[in-house]
Structure 1
Amino acid sequence: MEDLGMDPVEALQDAIQTLTLQGVDLSGGIVTCVPGESSAKDNPVIHCLERLNELESIPKDRISGDEMDEMAGLFDKLTELCSVEGSGNAAIAVKNGGVELVCSICSKNRWIQDWIQADVQSTETFRSSDGPTILAGILKGESESLDILDCGFNVVAAAATGNEILKESFMELKIDELILQVLNRQNTGNVQSLYDAIRVLLTPDDNRVVASQVYGYARRFVKIGIAGALVDSLCGGLASPSLVSASIALKAVAVNDEICKSIAERGGVDTILKCIDDSSEQGNKTVARTCCSLLSKLAASDSNKSAIIEKGGMERLIQLSGRFSDDPSVLQEVMSIITVLSLRSPNNAARAIEAGAGDLAIQAMLKFPSAQQLQRNSCLMIRNLVVRNPENRTLLLSQGIEKIIRRAKENHETCKDAATDALRDLGLDNYCS
């Protein structure tokens, strides 16, 4: 301002115009007002933080009941403001010390707020402010409050997303033991964020690290009994409010053959097949998709493949596809399981064709030509159905599968490799064209 002889308002307008011309996004956390002006003080996020700072500075033994109520109200308001999508309020709060302030107040008053944003800047601030330790202490101390547990595990999920260091911090604080403690209760379904926390803690989503530790965490989860507790939580079937969330969490735990087998030994395959049957009867597409996805993960174990087949899994899956013949998202999940079940197993491939997998592929590909993932999954399934079963090749080729696959290959870039492999394993010479 001094160099160019501008007053504050002129300098601000010039800066906004220059940055806008340069293509800078000013929507995320930028307070476009002159410092000291009433417009800055009137910003509701800044106002909340300033007042919370004032209240936080009052010694605990001197703060009045009215001031405690005001602080709680400000927390609620700040949470509401930061939850407004596209407002930039959360970024404004982070850049103005909101994470440090909330951690400080929570450590003194054992409160939790779940407005922490899952980005590197705010999560690193959360970590450096000793947020994980404070949060773990609150969760352990307030383990009887379902609301606090739900809010707290929300923070765990938000903070650990994309941050390997915070995942490690939570595991060092034995968050897995607390998770198991909550899972073993009768009313776990009221703590939905618990399942999100499991999924995030076991997801290798931090691009800054070469080798994630999450697979070791999954083994630790299984060792202390979390996988078994998740299987038990599925036994309530469609009546359970946590069925979908628990299925997704269990899929995150199932990272290797040993774990997949242990889940089956606990009754996981039986439970999931029953949920699939129930979803078919009740027309619940969400449960159908989720349970099929989980079953596909468990089917990676050869022993589980046999168990699924012996329990009539192939026929039950084809029946499910008939129930949801108008939903490509369900059909592609069914195809994914059949692909896994048929891998390196001529007997299972023959069983699949007998159950109607070939007809499923042909009808679905014809009915949903623009559904890219379904088209790709169909090609992958067809390949496994024919690669070791010449009789299946003859059958599918006689039904016109070649033309359908070539159309998918031509129309969808994502299908090219899968379609080429399918054409090759069908015994066609010109599979590359």
Structure 2
Amino acid sequence: MDDFGMSREEAVEDAIKQFEMQGVDLSNIATTLSCVDQDEVPLVVLTREYTDKVNNTEQQGAHEVLTKVLKLLRSSSDANESKTIAGNAGLLQSIFTALAADDLLEDQAMTMFDCLAFLIQGHPTNQEKLKEPRDIVHGWKCEGMDAVMGAMRRMPGRADVQLKGLKLCTLGAQKCEPIKAAIVDRGGLEMLKGALQDLSESAALMAEVGSCIHALATADDLTSIASKAFDTARDVYKQEMLPLIYQAFRKHREDVEVVQELVYALKAVSIQEDIVKSVLEEGGVELIKDGMRQHMQHANLVSRCLLFFANLAENDKAKTELCQGDALPLMIEALHLHARNAFAVRCGFAAFASMALRMPENTERIIEHGGDKLLLEGMRTHPKFPEVNRYAMIAIRNIVVRRPEFVPLFLEEGAEELIRRARDTHLKCADAAFDCLRDLGCEYGGLGDKAGKGAYSPYMHCESSLDKRNQVGRGSAMVSCISPIVRLTLDP
């Protein structure tokens, strides 16, 4: 600062501009110095006042102060910066302390859950505080989750308390394996089962139960070497929660929000053969088909139903039942209706790819219902979406590899050009395009010198560099987007 004759504020402002020009995401750090003296920041002042009252034996007036803090947080013009300031001032730790109080009241607990949920949503640094401290030998101790789960256990019959607590658990569990494990280890599944059994009249709570089960049973933490998500899915089944989910589904079948969250829960747990068998035999698939028919206009719900079918179709018995029964026509109808919705199309194509894998009789049914035209039309309609194109190519490949007589259908409808365009546009489509072109009998060469460098790519190939296009504020240019929702195995 001295070398350039800059004040502290000017130096920070200049640094922020430099980082933003490089595409660095600064959403999780404070980027203004509106009050250089921290004692003058209202949020810090209130947080310290709250901490003092919490540390007082009687905690007199602490709830009123926290209510003011939450109101101030919600009214902030820069939510992420406010979350950062509050987190650095120790607000989360003070709430954890207050949650452990023996005389905790229900309205106090709900305000604390609301405040914690606001602080961790979209803010990984604050989310990390739920799992602190870390023991060198035993790993994360998750004292914050201890306090949250303890408060929820003390108020099992209050639907409103459980709702806010589960919302917090769902947010905390997303992409964080230690918090998922902490929730399960501290009786989280038992709480979810209790809510399904005793509080099923609350539609909002049932929707949150579905969200929480999905978060706990999904292995989405790419930083973790191992995951207990699959064990959690099995525990949901072993604790006989599936019939309770079906019961809640029937009770709230008119409520789109409840139905779509319960579908997501079933999608997350239907990953092992005995669970899939149970879902098929006990009416889970029929329920989801009924829900899909009833709410066909709702793209998000339909997308989740298609994802459920894609997951289920990894099982050979399930893929045959889905494709040979009335589920396939339902999927076709949904894809026609939501043809402009890239996520719905992507989910449907993933289901096609799963159903066609190693099943020649299924591929014939898909073709009979116009699946070939749907796949190619989806690629034409959504050239900018790599996942749509990738799953379309996997589905095409799985269809023609066992039924080569269908190759002319795809070639006559322009498949080769669409596949090459997808390969040249999206780097993550290169391997699927290679296999697809080969099995269609087209010239395929290597993975393609132009892979990922076409017209729709976020990067343009230049002689000496890669120019970023539309990447400002989205983080590092070289971070890859790896988030497969459905695991598909290509036909050998």
TM-score where L is the length of structure 1:
0.84
Alignment of 1:3-402 (within 5 A): 14-22=7-15, 23=18, 28-29=29-30, 32=33, 40-60=38-58, 63=60, 67=61, 70-71=64-65, 73-74=67-68, 76-77=70-71, 80=74, 85-108=78-101, 109-110=104-105, 111=109, 112-113=112-113, 114-117=117-120, 118-120=123-125, 123-124=128-129, 127-128=132-133, 130-184=143-197, 185-191=199-205, 192-235=207-250, 236-280=252-296, 283-402=297-416
- Asked which structure has the greater CA Rg, the reply is 1
Counterpart code for 2:189 = D
**Alpha-carbon deviation of 1:26?**
9.8
Structure 2 unmatched runs, 5+ = 20-25, 134-141, 449-492
Partner of residue 461, structure 2: none
Query: Contact 1:99–1:126 at 8 Å: present in 2 too?
Result: no
Q: Which protein has the bigger helix share? A: 1
How far is 1:20 from its partner? 4.5
Q: Deviations over 1:283-306 (max 9, x none)?
A: 221211111111111111111112
Q: One-letter code of the match for 1:101?
A: S
- Cα-to-partner distance string for 1:152-200 (whole Å, 9 max, x where unaligned): 1122223333433332222221111001111233224212443333233
Encode CA deviations 1:221-243: one digit per residue, 9 max, x unaligned: 21112334334433343534311
User: Deviations 1:38-91 (Å, cap 9, x if unpaired)?
Assistant: xx334221122122133324433x94xxx366345335435536x765441111
Instruction: Give the Cα–Cα distance (whole angstroms) in 1 for the partners of residues 27 and 409 of structure 2.
Output: 61
Q: CA 1:397–1:33 in 2, change beyond 3 Å: closer, same or farther? A: closer
Cα displacement string for residues 310-358 of structure 1 (whole angstroms, at most 9, x for unaligned residues): 4222222222222233434323322221111110000101111111111
Structure 2: distance between partners of 1:392 and 1:314:
19
Letter in 2 for 1:140: R
User: Corresponding residue for 2:139?
Assistant: none
Cα distance in 2 for residues equivalent to 1:28 and 1:91 = 6
Q: Decide whether the 8 Å contact of 1:182 with 1:188 is kept in 2.
A: no
> How many residues are matched?
413
The DSSP-based 3-state class of the residue aligned with 1:387 is helix
CA distance in 1, matches of 2:8, 2:327: 64
Q: The residue matched to 2:178 in structure 1 has which SS?
A: helix
| Structure 1: runs of 5 or more not aligned | 5-10
Counterparts of 1:211 and 1:135, CA distance in 2: 25
Deviations 1:371-430 (CA, angstroms, capped at 9, x unpaired): 433222221111111111122113333444333333333343333222221121123355
Residue 101 of structure 1: how far off its partner (Å): 0.8
Identify if the C-alpha distance between structure 1 residues 119 and 425 changes in structure 2 by more than 3 Å, giving closer, same or farther. same
Residue 115 of structure 1 aligns with an amino acid whose one-letter code is: F
1:55/1:339 CA distance change after superposition, 3 Å = same
Letter in 2 for 1:220: D
Distance 1:127 1:226, change over 3 A: farther
Residue 413 of structure 2 is aligned to residue 413 of structure 1 = no
Alpha-carbon displacement from aligned partner over 1:71-117 (angstroms, at most 9, x marks no partner): 45335435536x76544111111211111211112222252333342
Distance in 2 separating the partners of 1:423 and 1:27? 44
Check whether the contact 1:328–1:374 (CA below 8 A) recurs between aligned residues: yes
- Distance in 2, matches of 1:278 and 1:363, equals 26
CA shift digits 1:21-44 (9 cap, x unpaired): 455769824784788x5xx33422
Equivalent residue of 1:225, what SS? coil
Q: Match for 1:134: what amino acid?
A: A
Call closer, same or farther: CA 1:358–1:42 in 2, change over 3 Å. Answer: same
Percent identical: 21
Does the CA-based 8 Å contact 1:375-1:408 persist in structure 2? Answer: yes
Change beyond 3 A, Cα 1:407–1:133: closer
In angstroms, what is the RMSD of aligned CA positions?
3.0
Select between 239-248 and 217-226 the one with higher mean Cα deviation.
239-248
- Distance in 1, matches of 2:440 and 2:7, equals 66
Which structure ranks higher in relative contact order (CA pairs < 8 Å, sequence separation ≥ 6)? 2
In structure 2, the residue matched to 1:8 is none
Q: Quick one: distance in 2 between partners of 1:430 and 1:28?
A: 47
Q: Tell me which moved more, 114-123 or 418-427.
A: 114-123
